[in-house]
Amino acid sequence: MTQKNDIRWLPGFNWVTLFFFLFLYLPLIILVVFSFNASRSATVWSGFSLEWYVKAFANDDIQRATKNSLIIAVFATVFATTMATMAALALSRNRAVKNKSLFGGVLILPLMVPEIVTAVATLTFFSAIGLSLGLGNIIIAHSVFCIPFAYLPIRARLDGMDESLEAAARDLYSNKWDTLRLITLPLLMPGILSGAMLAFIISLDDFIITLMVAEAGSTTLPIYIYSLVRVGITPEVNAISTVLLGVSVLIVTAAYLVEKKK
Amino acid sequence: MTSAIGLSGLQKTYPGAPPVRALRNADLAINDNEFFTLLGPSGCGKTTLLRLMAGFEVPTGGKLTLFGEDIAHLPPEKRPINTVFQHYSLFPHMTVLENVAFGLKRLHKSDAEAKQVAQQMLDLVHLADFGDRKPGQLSGGQQQRVALARALAPQPRVLLLDEPLSALDLKLRQSMRAELKRLQRETGITFVFVTHDQEEALAMSDRIAVMSQGEIQQVGDPATIYEFPENRFVAEFIGDADFFEAEVLGGTEYKLSNGALLTGPRTEAAIGSQVTLFFRPEKAELKQSGSGLPGQVSEILYLGNSTDYVVDLAQGGALTVRSENHKDGTALADVGADVVVEIDPAAVRVVTT
């Protein structure tokens, strides 16, 4: 590319870029900064302190909500990733499956359905069939909407994999199961891990659907944070949010690195 | 003697509108310990036939036998046949040694035995010290050898090779030809080699089957295929050829479509009927004068070890003569020179179209 065509050489490029990133990240930076504030104020800086982190970690309600969130996220991730892997294998490798693109489309359609609609539909459905499993309800709901998120990276990885590798394994005396176990799954693992991490984050962060289907005692972290905010913003909320943010960034980064690795 | 691989009326039709007849009624017997080549342009059905032999496709009709045993419906893992894939298809998450030992382990050989045989195979392809590397760390030529070792390690009855040299550069390709011949001789395994490169086929094969449009056109040893092609497709696909439409005058005399007379082989065709004659360009001679077809050199293509002279015939039409250069390196004739093309009657062939 010549210098002339490179947008980096357009006048004002640096300022526009700076403004863009501030616009994206300034709220998050302020949130993180004030989680270390010494006073109760969420807007006036008065010194560095880890007090709010200590308080947040000692809070029984937060501990309970975090535990719920993690249980839900782990189970939903395992279910969703398993389903997504099977769906990807069927749609990418099984010659007997007809209408592959139709099924593939239907599978990722939930990504485009407004979340509030899914939430209301799930709530209505659960009460219609009288399902009341406590955390189980939320796990089922999360498993369902996490499937497309887990499916996409797995399918992408599978489509990028040379099918002749599986043919070579069959040719070298492996039956279908051994081929899946020894060749397909090991090579697919980065996609599966990346899909699983994505599902985990989506489940951990979910608010609307959880709010609808959560029964008493099934409060998750995002819902607890919301209830705190309604009382008034304290640096304690900032502290929990910062931890949640840190976990998300960590997992998404790991997912990215795993997927990039050959 | 039962053949290593036998086809009788073997068919493969892919459904569709219209259905694709990738292989039509193929009959073929490949002998044990033979270097056999399936040769043809892309889409001729050679790869389909290879995939049928390997078990990746199921025939829609006919019989497929391995040493007399019907294998048409056996899955690939039940056939003592291994394949060298076009793009090698080495398992990237395993070391070279693990790749080569893979088939042996699947056949329930002990770890020690699998490793030992795999190491012998790596010795055989001159990669003894590469066992611990991953395939991604090897060059294309080395990956090719690993693929060979991997396919040979379980000692298959038949080895299938799907255009294994096409991804290599010219020099490497030429050395691998000799290497493949050596491996076939040393292992005594029947090789079925698929290629679209006629030079490769002629250089390596014991016998060649030339294929076109899902049908086997001719089966024979390289010299027979080159010297006595049975139809125009084979004559055109293998090497270069000059073709003439001609009328049979009786005996060994033919009248070319441009009116010139030519002496050729005796033919069964009736006097007055139309036939196609051809000869190889290196079998015609370019003379300054004499008896033959007079013409003028219109183009010269220098090939290094020889030169192609395109001659516009005085009576119409054109033909190509391939000739070695003079010992001192000078050309036989320049563009525009008047020449006579002499064709030995023994070099002329009659083919069906």
Of A170, A186, A187, the CB nearest to B77: A170
Residue with tokens 């395993």: B94
- Give a yes or no: residue A34 inside a domain: no
CA–CA min distance A178, chain B (Å):
9
- φ and ψ at B81, to 5 degrees? -130, 130
- Give a yes or no: residue A11 inside a domain: no
Question: Does B14 reach chain A within 8 Å, measured CB to CB?
Answer: no
Give the other-Cβ count within 10 Å of B62's Cβ: 18
- Give a yes or no: residue A136 inside a domain: yes
* A→B interface, C-beta within 8 Å: 162, 164-165, 167-175, 178, 183, 186-187, 262
- In this prediction, residues A219-232 reach a mean pLDDT of 88
- Give a yes or no: residue A3 inside a domain: no
List the domain range (segments joined by +) for residue A121.
53-260
What's the mean per-residue pLDDT of chain A? 89
Q: What is the DSSP letter of A48?
A: B
List the domain range (segments joined by +) for residue B217.
5-235
Per-residue pLDDT tens digits for B100-129: 999 999 999 999 999 999 999 999 899 999
Same domain, B252 and B335: yes
- Give a yes or no: residue A42 inside a domain: no
CA–CA min distance A188, chain B (Å):
11
| Contacts with A164 from chain B: Cβ below 8 Å | 85-87, 89
B23 falls in which pLDDT band (50, 70, 90)? very high
Closest-approach residue (CA) in chain B for A188: B93
What are the DSSP calls for A71-107, one per residue?
HHHHHHHHHHHHHHHHHHHHHHH-TT---HHHHHHHH
Q: Which of B235, B255, B286 is the last residue of a domain?
A: B235
Question: Does B102 reach chain A within 8 Å, measured CB to CB?
Answer: yes
pLDDT given for residue A1 in this prediction: 47
- Could you tell me which residues are beta bridge partners of residue B297? B311
| Contacts with B75 from chain A: Cβ below 8 Å | 170, 175
- In this prediction, residues B160-183 reach a mean pLDDT of 88
Contacts of B2 by beta carbon, 8 Å cutoff, 6+ apart: B65, B67, B68
The rounded distance, in Å, linking the Cα atoms of B102 and B79 is 16
Per-residue pLDDT tens digits for B157-171: 999 999 988 888 888
Same domain, B56 and B180: yes
- In this prediction, residues B168-177 reach a mean pLDDT of 86
pLDDT given for residue A3 in this prediction: 60
Where are the extended beta strands (E) located within chain B? 5-14, 20-30, 35-39, 61-66, 69-70, 81-84, 158-162, 190-195, 207-212, 215-220, 242-250, 253-256, 261-263, 274-279, 284-287, 293-302, 307-313, 318-323, 338-343, 349-351
Same domain, B166 and B305: no
Strand arrangement, sheet containing B207-212? B81-84, B158-162, B190-195, B35-39, B207-212, B215-220
Same domain, B225 and B285: no
Closest-approach residue (CA) in chain B for A176: B77
Question: Does B83 reach chain A within 8 Å, measured CB to CB?
Answer: yes
B83 falls in which pLDDT band (50, 70, 90)? very high
Give the other-Cβ count within 10 Å of A51's Cβ: 16
Q: By C-alpha distance, which of A153, A146, A145 is closest to A190?
A: A153
pLDDT given for residue B352 in this prediction: 73
Which of A173, A176, A178, A182 would you mutate first to test chain B, the one with the most B CBs within 10 A? A173
Q: Which of B188, B213, B235 is the last residue of a domain?
A: B235
Per-residue pLDDT tens digits for A142-194: 999 999 999 999 999 999 999 999 999 999 999 999 999 999 999 999 999 99
CA–CA min distance A201, chain B (Å):
28
Question: Does B268 reach chain A within 8 Å, measured CB to CB?
Answer: no
CATH of the domain at B317: 2.40.50.140
Strand arrangement, sheet containing B69-70? B20-30, B5-14, B61-66, B69-70
Cβ proximity of B300 and B309 under 8 Å: yes
Closest-approach residue (CA) in chain B for A164: B89
The rounded distance, in Å, linking the Cα atoms of A70 and B322 is 80
Same domain, B100 and B123: yes
- In this prediction, residues A121-137 reach a mean pLDDT of 91
- In this prediction, residues B231-240 reach a mean pLDDT of 91
Q: What is the DSSP letter of A171?
A: H
| Contacts with B90 from chain A: Cβ below 8 Å | 168
- In this prediction, residues B24-34 reach a mean pLDDT of 94
- Could you tell me which residues are beta bridge partners of residue B245? B276
Question: Does B137 reach chain A within 8 Å, measured CB to CB?
Answer: no
Closest-approach residue (CA) in chain A for B89: A165
The rounded distance, in Å, linking the Cα atoms of A153 and B240 is 51
Same domain, B32 and B152: yes
CA–CA min distance B41, chain A (Å):
22
| pTM for the model | 0.83
Instruction: Please say whether the dihedral angle defined by the alpha carbons of residues A56, A60, A63 and A69, taken in this order, is positive or negative.
Output: negative
- Give a yes or no: residue A41 inside a domain: no
Same domain, B90 and B184: yes
Looking at the structure of chain B, the number of domains it has is 2
Same domain, B50 and B137: yes
A12 falls in which pLDDT band (50, 70, 90)? confident
Cβ proximity of B9 and B198 under 8 Å: no
pLDDT, greater one: A14 or A78: A78
Question: Does B185 reach chain A within 8 Å, measured CB to CB?
Answer: no
Same domain, B155 and B267: no
CATH of the domain at A243: 1.10.3720.10
pLDDT at B68 over 90: yes
- Give a yes or no: residue A130 inside a domain: yes
Helices A235-260 and A221-231: angle between axes, nearest 10 degrees: 150
pLDDT given for residue A261 in this prediction: 66
Most confident of A7-11, A235-239, B166-170, B306-310: B306-310
Q: Which of B175, B205, B235 is the last residue of a domain?
A: B235
The rounded distance, in Å, linking the Cα atoms of B266 and B178 is 39
Cβ–Cβ gap A165/B55 under 8 Å: no
What ipTM score was computed for the predicted complex, to two decimals? 0.83
Q: By C-alpha distance, which of B36, B332, B9, B56 is closest to A168?
A: B56
Same domain, B187 and B209: yes
pLDDT given for residue A40 in this prediction: 79
| Contacts with A192 from chain B: Cβ below 8 Å | none
CA–CA min distance B114, chain A (Å):
13
CA–CA min distance A156, chain B (Å):
18
Question: Does B93 reach chain A within 8 Å, measured CB to CB?
Answer: yes
| Contacts with B103 from chain A: Cβ below 8 Å | 172-173
CATH of the domain at B68: 3.40.50.300
Calculate the alpha carbon distances from B224 to B151, B202, B206, B218, B258 in Å. 31, 10, 11, 10, 30
Looking at the structure of chain A, the number of domains it has is 1
Residue B129, helix vs strand vs coil = helix
Residue with tokens 């002998």: B31
Question: Does B91 reach chain A within 8 Å, measured CB to CB?
Answer: yes
Same domain, B118 and B16: yes
User: What tokens appear for A118 in the block?
Assistant: 């899914």
pLDDT given for residue A2 in this prediction: 55
pLDDT given for residue B172 in this prediction: 85
Same domain, B182 and B128: yes
Cβ–Cβ gap B103/A170 under 8 Å: no
- Give a yes or no: residue A99 inside a domain: yes
pLDDT given for residue A146 in this prediction: 95
pLDDT at A262 over 70: no
- Could you tell me which residues are beta bridge partners of residue B63? B8
Question: Does B266 reach chain A within 8 Å, measured CB to CB?
Answer: no
- In this prediction, residues A78-106 reach a mean pLDDT of 91
Where are the extended beta strands (E) located within chain A? none
| Contacts with A186 from chain B: Cβ below 8 Å | 93
